[in-house]
Amino acid sequence: QVQLVESGGGLVQAGGSLRLSCVVSGRSYTKYAAWFRQAPGKEREFVAVIDWSGDGAYYTDSVKGRFTISGDNAKSTVTLQMNSLKLEDTAVYHCAAAGSVWPKSRLYVASAYGYWGQGTQVTVSS
């Protein structure tokens, strides 16, 4: 049984930082952990993904250089450090996990992930 629990959302001013964490119970059944976000009236959007084996991390273009995803295998935790936050980063952020995914291009698609957290709200104010 794989369960994901996020924490760390909140309200921050533009230019500020937030750190999201996700504990992945049953992590050994998964290979990838990712963050997606969904703003009101918009579709769920890929943000970042990491391979638990440390074989790389990938980001959507709009967060490159500002967000960093990292994984701690010992703590079964994936973290998203968000810096230089912008108004357009406001959304509910969801942690997701998946086993093997092929082709790797599917890692950017929500349907590739079978396990999801409940989401945590991130609000960036001006």
Q: Which long-range contacts (CB under 8 A, 24 or more apart) does 82-85 make?
A: 82/17, 82/18, 82/19, 82/20, 82/122, 83/17, 84/15, 84/17, 85/12, 85/14, 85/15, 85/16, 85/17, 85/18, 85/122, 85/124
Q: What is the pLDDT of residue 56?
A: 87
pLDDT tens string 1-60: 899 999 999 999 999 999 999 999 999 899 999 999 999 999 999 999 999 987 789 999
Residue 62 has pLDDT above 90, yes or no: yes
Task: Compute φ and ψ for 85, nearest 5 degrees.
Answer: -65, 145
Q: What is the pLDDT of residue 96?
A: 98
pLDDT tens string 81-121: 999 999 999 999 999 999 999 999 999 999 999 999 999 99
Taking the C-alpha atoms of residue 49 and residue 57, their distance in angstroms, rounded to an integer, is: 6
Look up residue 110 and give its DSSP letter. G
Instruction: Give whole-number Cα distances, 34 to 4, 12, 45, 75, 119, in Å.
Output: 11, 22, 11, 16, 12
